Amino acid sequence: MLKLGQERIFSMRKDLNGYWTFAWTGLLANIAAIPFIALVVSSGPPLQWANLWVAVFLAWPAAIVGIVAASGLFAERRWGVIMSIIALSMAVSGTLPYGIFRLIDEGDLFGLSGLSLLIAFLNLIALIYWCRPIHRKVRL
């Protein structure tokens, strides 16, 4: 019997395909994102202020939440899935509009705007994976 405040641990080792792959990919991508965001911010004009604001108020917090989410996923806790959904939503809400705006303003499809749109697409795929109903089922 579980006491109040204890979280049920469910085993993802056998039940879900891709669980560990997505968890490790998320951890490594979020760790790599922190210096990459600093590189984008230090790139200077054009869009220097937009780069700074998106980095400080959205990109770095999303990366930190993603690292915390990965730790919850490795511990096989339900809150890890919730944090993953939050981190991915933050990433999509930042990279998609930024990539579209940069594509319209700069027209560099094979530059930073194309990379932002690719990251948004990959985050959307991961978001769809973590929103699957099987992640909300509890195994006793």
**For 27-81, what is each residue's pLDDT tens digit?**
999 999 999 888 877 776 777 777 788 888 888 999 999 999 999 999 988 899 9
Please tell me the distance from the alpha carbon of residue 108 to that of residue 19, in angstroms, as a whole number. Answer: 34
Q: How confident is the model at residue 140 (pLDDT cuts 50, 70, 90)?
A: very low
Report pTM. Answer: 0.80
What pLDDT is recorded for position 37? Answer: 85
Residue pair 121/100 in contact by the 8 Å Cβ criterion = no
Per the listing, tokens 């999303």 go with: 62
Please tell me the distance from the alpha carbon of residue 19 to that of residue 121, in angstroms, as a whole number. Answer: 19
Residue pair 92/123 in contact by the 8 Å Cβ criterion = yes
Residue closest to 33 by CA, chosen among 66, 57, 71: 66
